[in-house]
Amino acid sequence: MKSLRLYGKQDIRFEEADKPVLEKADDVIIKVKAVGICGSDISRYNKLGPYVEGNVFGHEFAGEVVEVGEGVGNIKAGDRVAGCPTFYCGECESCRKGELSRCENLHVMGAYHPGAYAEYAKLPAENIVPLPDNVDYETAAMVEPSAVVVHGFYRTSMQPGAEVAVMGCGNIGLLAVQWAKIFGAKKVYAIDIDDSKLEIAKVVGADVLINSLEKPAHEQILEHTNGAGVDVAIESAGSPITSAQVFALPKKGGEVVFMGIPYADINIERFYFEKIVRNELRVLGSWNAISSPFPGKEWSTTVHYMSTGQINVKPIISHRLPLEQGPETFDRIINRKESFGKVMFFPEDN
């Protein structure tokens, strides 16, 4: 089958790979209909390299079931599904406590297991997420990043009527704008340095657009909130700079949720750090998208709100491409040769 395989840093190849076969009673084989590039894929491609050289890469996908193991009773060929790509060990202390996202051995397909940049993918039956008929495949390929975002919102104490700031309007930030509304935010502030991203944030529900190149974000937030700040600030840029600046956005007693991954050291100026202490902020990390019972309410809730249209990923998708354009696309992304939102591959187009 056709696939994208990661061999090293900035070395991804479009080539043939072995089609997955049934080996275990709970195996499910899916024909991949749509698969997206995750921000973590870009970092691993650009800076870190593969876990296993030559492994099929990718993990955000949806497709049609084509074959199931003899022990699978609730899934059948022809079913439309998304895949939860995450594997947990079930044996570490966190897993035994039901805190699956904190598993000591957590990883996703495309790391040690063959991934989803391919015509076919394989997962255990418990990782299969059924889709309603009104959720199309490219939307469903974003169930995983949406689940990542709502996992973070579930960690907050946010109440309906809250004001929320989302710092960074990439794919995760644009989903965070929408989840903030679903959680009852009366006003969502979208912050970025790219006006084109801010315009997409407006399309998906942001109430106030803030370009932080014009004036520091916290100064603009204070102007909009009568000097108070927001109830919840989401860091979704994954930038060393914004990872410090975000502390100046919440009101006293407010919350900060880190969803971005900077892949760099964070140096926090005294002004920003003191906000944590003096404003008694609650600082939350959020990792992955699973909870107990696996895969967690993040997945069923995402599918529900996709089916109602309250999670709308269409404006976020900027490129729809055949799988064979994978290598050049990764190169163009890291070399910033054009502007990219969510990139979606369609293996059947090859």
DSSP-derived secondary structure for 50-71: -SSTTEEP--EEEEEEEEE-TT
Residue 337 has pLDDT above 80, yes or no: no
C-alpha distance from residue 57 to each of 106, 139, 144 (Å): 17, 20, 15
> What is d(CA 51, CA 43) in angstroms, rounded to the nearest whole number?
13
The β-bridge partners of 60 are 36
* Residue from 211, 139, 207 nearest 168 by CA: 211
The pLDDT of 118-140, averaged and rounded, is 98
Express each pLDDT in 230-277 by its tens digit: 999 999 999 999 999 999 999 999 999 999 988 889 999 999 999 999
> What is d(CA 177, CA 184) in angstroms, rounded to the nearest whole number?
11
The alpha carbon dihedral of 283, 287, 291, 297 has a sign of positive
Interior angle at CA 324, CA 323 and CA 326, nearest 5 = 70
The pLDDT of 10-23, averaged and rounded, is 98
Where do you find CATH 3.40.50.720 in the chain? 147-285
Express each pLDDT in 141-159 by its tens digit: 999 999 999 999 999 999 9
Task: Match domain 147-285 to its CATH number in 3.40.800.10, 3.40.605.10, 3.40.50.11810, 3.40.50.720.
Answer: 3.40.50.720
DSSP-derived secondary structure for 206-220: -SEEEETTTS-HHHH
Express each pLDDT in 199-210 by its tens digit: 999 999 999 999
> What is d(CA 51, CA 109) in angstroms, rounded to the nearest whole number?
11
Residue 252 contacts residue 227 (beta carbons within 8 Å): no
**Residue 350 banded pLDDT, cuts 50, 70, 90:** very low
Residue 222 has what DSSP assignment?
H
Q: Provide the pLDDT for residue 348.
A: 83
**Residue 101 banded pLDDT, cuts 50, 70, 90:** very high
Q: Provide the pLDDT for residue 163.
A: 98
C-alpha distance from residue 326 to each of 20, 172, 317 (Å): 21, 21, 16
**Residue 338 banded pLDDT, cuts 50, 70, 90:** confident
> What is d(CA 87, CA 113) in angstroms, rounded to the nearest whole number?
9
Residue 165 contacts residue 232 (beta carbons within 8 Å): yes
The pLDDT of 106-124, averaged and rounded, is 97
Where do you find CATH 3.90.180.10 in the chain? 2-142+313-349
Residue 140 contacts residue 85 (beta carbons within 8 Å): no
* Residue from 172, 242, 163 nearest 208 by CA: 163
**Residue 349 banded pLDDT, cuts 50, 70, 90:** low
Q: What percent of the chain has pLDDT over 90?
A: 96
**Structure pTM?**
0.96
Residue 110 has pLDDT above 80, yes or no: yes
Instruction: Give the CATH architecture of domain 2-142+313-349.
Output: Alpha-Beta Complex (3.90)
> What is d(CA 312, CA 106) in angstroms, rounded to the nearest whole number?
29
> What is d(CA 259, CA 140) in angstroms, rounded to the nearest whole number?
21
Tell me the pairing of strands 80-83 and 60-68. antiparallel
Tell me the pairing of strands 187-192 and 208-211. parallel
